[in-house]
Amino acid sequence: MSSTEYIGYPNPYAAEPMPTDRMIDLCKRHTLYTWSATDAVAPLPIARAEGVYLWTPEGQRILDFNSQLMSVLIGHAHPKVMAAMKRQIDELIFVYPQTATQVRARLGQLLAEITPGDINTFFFTLGGAEANENAVKAARLYTGRQKILASYRSYHGGTNLTMGLTGDPRRWANEPASPGIVHYMDPWPYEHSFGRTEEEITANHLKYLEETIVMEGAHTIAALFRETVTGTNGVLAPPKGWLKGVRALCDKYGILLVCDEVMAGMGRTGKMYAFEHDDVIPDMVTLAKGLTSSYFPLGAVGLRDKVADHFRKNVFWGGLTYNSHPVGLATAEAVLRVMLDEGMIENAARLGRVMRAEMDRLQAKHPSVAEGRNVGLFGMIDVRKNAKNEPLAPFNGSHPAMNALAKFFKDNGLFTFVRWASFTCNPPLMITEEQLREGFAIIDRGLELTDAAFEG
């Protein structure tokens, strides 16, 4: 950039914001966008956000039906959290990780209190990928083994190691990633098509998993990773009894069970942790997103006593400049208090039933709806092209009607993710029933576009 061009640029502290098209142009010219070729990106211009709504600079109101990246769980701009963040900035904005601070003491204790079982110790990171990276490190150091099992229908982060853990197509371009990762097929929809009962699916799949463990050499496997409820790759809760069976297999072979609750945790499913639905305690749980409702970058690994105790005597070979950042910790503390004080998890459980009813209504009305799935306010709708339930868009592909649906949502003030033949329904947990139905009313109208592509 020439200096004359630079002089022409607006002062970032000027009272007047720059025009929207100039803002978009500068964002695209000087910054890269994630998972995209930048020229293909049409960034959504946003000026402000509050509660369940976002506003464009031109004043269009948008209902946030995906909590941004499934992460703004308490809604946008909660005044109590913003005030707590400001208080922490005034009190102590940063100190290095080898310090003791009031907020670190308080949040550690709070997390230990709200986390089931003997998960009492937490290692803080800046996000979900780093939480998973450090869980892998902890598992390898604790067990002295190298291999990690992870599922195909998964996303665990964008770093080199977590791209390797990830099963979905984002992994492909990043291979070869870290060695020693073995992928297993998920219990469903893999087993779904054989017309088996849920109990049979669980039993068959556990047999397959045990065989995988034995064939890989159980003594070489440090950990098995699992998104407790698979997120981006389908909002798939495990079949009944499956997670308990996995817990038993891990115990049998001395493998650590790691539940990635970066997306499913912190109340999204109507319980604080998704693993509470299955009455299982993992050896480690990884968190991010909802932990601060994305108001500040923060992730965490929660460790059971036996794993944490190991690192009281042995070095934990991991560190980050921003480990236990006071502002991140103060944000998480305020977010958790607000979530608990305002009954948001109960709201997610209650409105999950409304979501279920709305999904059933849409499925009955629209031939192109294959299925709606949800656990609490964690939801996804699949769109089909024919009565044989073939997806309207193929795996890792698109279809003009799905693109038209995405455009319809955008034009009609609904923010959500449309991917392949599915779209998500993941609003903030404090959404009201009326606002939830407002979202489904827009979806209802949009589905006429995919109905038109239904082949019968």
Ligand X SMILES: Cc1ncc(COP(=O)(O)O)c(C=O)c1O
Binding residues vs ligand X (CB under 6 A): 69, 127-129, 132, 155-157, 227, 231-232, 260, 262-263, 288, 299
Taking the complex as a whole, the smallest distance from the CB of residue 156 to ligand X amounts, in Å, to: 5
DSSP-derived letter for residue 236 is B
DSSP state of 387: T
> What minimum distance in Å lies between the beta carbon of 6 and ligand X?
32
Q: 145: which residues sit within 8 A by CB, 6+ positions away?
A: 139, 219, 220, 221, 222
CA 303 centroid distance within chain: 20
Q: To the nearest whole angstrom, how small is the minimum distance from the Cβ of residue 159 to ligand X?
A: 7
Q: What are phi and psi of 98, to 5 degrees?
A: -85, 40
Backbone φ and ψ of 371, nearest 5°: -170, 145
Quote the tokens at residue 235.
């909002």
Strands 147-151 and 221-227: parallel
The count of C-alpha atoms lying within 13 angstroms of the C-alpha of 166, restricted to the half-sphere facing its C-beta, is 24
Q: Contact at 8 Å (CB) between 426 and 355? A: no
Q: What angle do CA 181, 417, 440 make, to 5 degrees?
A: 135
Q: Which is nearer to ligand X, 262 or 453 (CB)?
A: 262
Question: Are 349 and 270 in contact, with CB atoms under 8 Å apart?
Answer: yes
Which residue, 167 or 446, is less far from ligand X as judged by CB? 167
Render 96-134 in DSSP notation, one character per residue. Answer: -TTS--HHHHHHHHHHHHHS-TTEEEEEEESSHHHHHHH
For the bound state, the minimum distance from the C-beta of residue 14 to ligand X, rounded and expressed in Å, comes to: 32
- Dihedral sign (CA 309, 312, 318, 322): positive
Q: How far is the CB of 61 from ligand X (least distance, A)?
A: 26
Q: Give strand pairing partners of 369.
A: 383
Shortest CB 157 distance to ligand X, Å: 4
Of the pair 34, 98, the CB lying nearest ligand X is at: 34
Smallest gap, in angstroms, from Cβ of residue 162 to ligand X?
Answer: 7
Q: How far apart are the first and last CA of the chain?
A: 56
Q: Give the residue carrying structure tokens 């990633």.
A: 177
**Rounded to the nearest whole angstrom, what is the least distance from the CB of residue 154 to ligand X in the complex?**
7
CB of 317 to ligand X, least distance (A): 20
Nearest to 257 by CA among 286, 284, 294: 284
